[in-house]
Chains A and B, each alone.
Chain A
């Protein structure tokens, strides 16, 4: 069973701190990795994608990928109360004709306290 694992949280951080969200995956052949943000009652919104080992920065967000350890993380610097949401990690399936499919983790709920 191909899986994506995340700590369900809730992860609580004070405003202005760095929030660190982690994700592990089981499919060694996966090549595409994504972080989605989902506010309560809303649909998932793509915030970061990463395809190569290392770090990728976009504003206050940094995605980190370590394929050898099968580990993806998302750092949110200067966390704001508006960052309070559930963050979903997603990884592409790597078999047959299903490369377009993603496997989603169950999400980590982040709470940023003012």
Chain B
């Protein structure tokens, strides 16, 4: 049971490049989330999705784009990466009535 996976685990890119972070879950959870975690800020919600083809902005959506054509996948794209987007990115999902969220292993992104 793979659960929730993210790829790549580590990524170094240059300012201005487009980067896509992948998230895949095997539980058929309806809700999926993207967070970034930075020192001093904790976990901040970037985008979330309630179901396939339904997405909505979170707290810090600027500079990011998401899509969800299939329930199990929720990619996050940085259209033109900036140094301020250097962070650790976590994908999470939930399907239970109690809203427990389960996190992927994270992607450490460095923008140079």
Contact = CB atoms under 8 A, between A and B. Distances in A.
Contacts, number: 48
A85 to B, nearest CB: 14
Contact of B41 (A88, A102, A106): A106
Contact of B100 (A49, A106, A107): A49
B98 A46 contact: no
Q: Is the interface of A mostly helix, strand, loop or mixed?
A: loop
Interface stretch (A9-17, A18-26, A66-74, A92-100): A92-100
Interface string B1-35: 00000000000000000000000000000110100
Interface residues of B, number: 23
Contacts of A51: 98
A25 B64 CA distance: 28
Interface in B28-73: 30-31, 33, 40-43, 45, 48, 50, 56, 58
